Structure 1
Amino acid sequence: MTNATQATARGHYFVPAASHYSTFLSVGIFMLALGFVFRLNGTPPGIWSMVMGAALIVYVIIGWFGELISENLRGAYTLWEDRSYRIGMVWFIFSEVMFFACFFGALYYIRQISLPELGSYEAMFTPYAKFTSAWPSAGPMGDAFMPMHAWGIPAINTMLLLTSGATLTWAHWGLIKGKQSQLTWGLALTVALGMTFMGFQVYEYAHAYAEMGLTLGAGVYGATFYILTGFHGLHVTLGTIMLMVMLGRGMKGHFSEHNHFAFEAVAWYWHFVDVVWLILFVFVYIL
């Protein structure tokens, strides 16, 4: 009997063999964080610690996920594992919702509570001549800047992400219908759109720094702008990498109409990233 048959017969979960990857991952995260702290304090070995830590993390990701893929392909997983993976992915996305909710909450507090309250003191006491309580504001001590306009690269990026959601859904339909070419082309288009989005964002950042004075030194506006758009850009980058993995696996025939949760998990993540961008586009760029 195979592991999967035995697990089903017993009604138990598939239990993999002991792995060293968890230890390597812990060491990699520690070295990455330690190197970052050293780097902030100007210690030269910090960069090497960061590189080694990042290399360990990449090694773990490739090796550990490779083992999971192998287990799935040889039929080690049953409905128990499928249900567990789905629940885990739901909770992961929920944690991401809370992550971005904290930053949007900070933006709301600054714009709707802090600035009006500071503005109420202007008539009595104004220690900073450049301060204005109207948004966008650099705050009392921020540098002068030009705010980012919505109807340029941000609008183009919005269309790119909305289109990527459509191409990914088209790829999913192809997978369900057993159309390999539709799956491949849909994923390839989604990857291309994600990479184009990131290219435009890099250009936007360079333009903002060089020509608009919109830096992290531009007070509260610059800080909230780069934190929100930067973390979203990181999520787009990770999502694009995951889509590239799905493209490779799809071309190798790893998915079937009834066994493709890895694809679904990445699709859920990508649609979540799309929704976050729409909210970000409204509250950061337009309002």
Structure 2
Amino acid sequence: MSQTYEKYFVPEPSRYPIFGSIALLLIASGAVMWLNKVGSGPWTLAIGFAVLIYMLFGWFGQVVRESEGGSYGKNVDASFRWSMGWFIFSEVMFFAAFFGALFYIRVLGLPWLADSDNSLLWPGFSAAWPSAGPLVEDPFTPMAAWGIPAINTLILLTSGATLTWAHWGMMKENRGQLKAGLFLTILLGAIFLSLQIYEYMHAYHEMNLKLTSGIYGSTFFMLTGFHGLHVTIGAIMLTVMLFRVIAGHFSKEHHFAFEATAWYWHFVDVVWLMLFVVVYWL
């Protein structure tokens, strides 16, 4: 009995990986030079980002053309799914490191310090969280959970619902619902980022809460700031999906790029729920 095997698509050699490597080298070098007040640092950083943008447009554009041209079959689709799954897993580990650091500080570090010789610690040390140490002279106010953080939680949860609604539109071949759902999700993401920027400005100017405000300030801004970066990346991905939908791309059977973006956005939603509970609430 004969069997029919699907031919696996092998792309042509690409120049874009080397451009990506050059971009990362320029970005890292420019950032280091800028921090060390080298005059060419900002320009090197800007050139690095320009090369990165060129690489992203060129490489993803090539993949889109190959996909829309019917070059990809089930084997390539499975590879894409595994790749996106491993990418999101790497992001899970990224945030797990930050959550682990916060857990260590609050659950293990502070009690251990409380049992040690207080004369070796900073004046006014208290084993309570949020900790003002080490060596924070200016008092600050911790960020409360109710207010902008709670509003942003509602916004992100709603954005997950609008994105799911857009996916339903895709499966029903209702392009109007698909476009509306994507637009609403992008809008909610932009509102979230705007409120987070306002929250940071309020923290710096009204609460004296800064990145230098001891271990509380550093963990607060590292966790929420990196999450905000992921929301920004997710919003850009959703915007690209909206433009592709407007251009007539995707069908009920073939729309993995949309699915991958939805996976990423829902991951960002789940991380924020954990942030709200652990960073703001507890």
TM range (shorter): over 0.9
Q: What is the CA–CA distance in structure 2 between the aligned matches of 1:119 and 1:144, rounded to whole Å?
A: 21
The gaps in structure 2 that reach 5 residues or longer are none
- 1:113 aligned to which of 108, 113, 118: 108
The gaps in structure 1 that reach 5 residues or longer are 1-8
Q: Secondary structure at the match of 1:256?
A: coil
Counterpart residue number, 2:132? 138
Q: What is the CA–CA distance in structure 1 between the aligned matches of 2:240 and 2:271, rounded to whole Å?
A: 23
Counterpart residue number, 1:65? 60
Alignment-mate amino acid for residue 128 of structure 1? W
Q: Are the aligned partners of 2:134 and 2:215 in contact in 1 as well (CA < 8 Å)?
A: no
Alignment-mate amino acid for residue 179 of structure 2? T
Q: Are the aligned partners of 1:131 and 1:141 in contact in 2 as well (CA < 8 Å)?
A: no
Deviation at 1:194, TM superposition (A): 0.2
- 1:257 aligned to which of 238, 252, 255: 252
Q: Secondary structure at the match of 2:212?
A: coil
- In the alignment, does 2:271 pair up with 1:276? yes
Alignment-mate amino acid for residue 125 of structure 2? F
Q: Secondary structure at the match of 1:155?
A: helix
Q: Are the aligned partners of 2:28 and 2:45 in contact in 1 as well (CA < 8 Å)?
A: yes
Deviation at 1:149, TM superposition (A): 0.4
Deviation at 1:215, TM superposition (A): 0.4
Q: What is the CA–CA distance in structure 2 between the aligned matches of 1:17 and 1:94, rounded to whole Å?
A: 28
Aligned residues: 279
Q: Secondary structure at the match of 1:16?
A: coil
Q: What are the within-5 Å matches in structure 2 for residues 1-40 of structure 1?
A: 11-40=6-35
Deviation at 1:121, TM superposition (A): 2.6
Deviation at 1:120, TM superposition (A): 1.7
Deviation at 1:60, TM superposition (A): 0.5
Alignment-mate amino acid for residue 174 of structure 1? G
- In the alignment, does 2:39 pair up with 1:48? no
Q: Are the aligned partners of 1:139 and 1:220 in contact in 2 as well (CA < 8 Å)?
A: yes
Counterpart residue number, 1:99? 94
Q: What is the CA–CA distance in structure 2 between the aligned matches of 1:87 and 1:111, rounded to whole Å?
A: 36
What is the RMSD computed on CA atoms of the aligned residues? 1.3
- Identity percentage of aligned residues: 57
Counterpart residue number, 1:4? none
Q: Are the aligned partners of 1:168 and 1:267 in contact in 2 as well (CA < 8 Å)?
A: yes
Deviation at 1:10, TM superposition (A): 6.2
Counterpart residue number, 2:191? 196
Q: Are the aligned partners of 2:122 and 2:133 in contact in 1 as well (CA < 8 Å)?
A: no
Counterpart residue number, 1:128? 122
Alignment-mate amino acid for residue 171 of structure 2? I
Q: What are the within-5 Å matches in structure 2 for residues 202-217 of structure 1?
A: 202-217=197-212
Q: What is the CA–CA distance in structure 2 between the aligned matches of 1:176 and 1:31, rounded to whole Å?
A: 43
Q: Are the aligned partners of 1:137 and 1:221 in contact in 2 as well (CA < 8 Å)?
A: yes
Deviations 1:197-224 (A, max 9, x none): 0000000000001111110110000000
Deviation at 1:16, TM superposition (A): 1.2
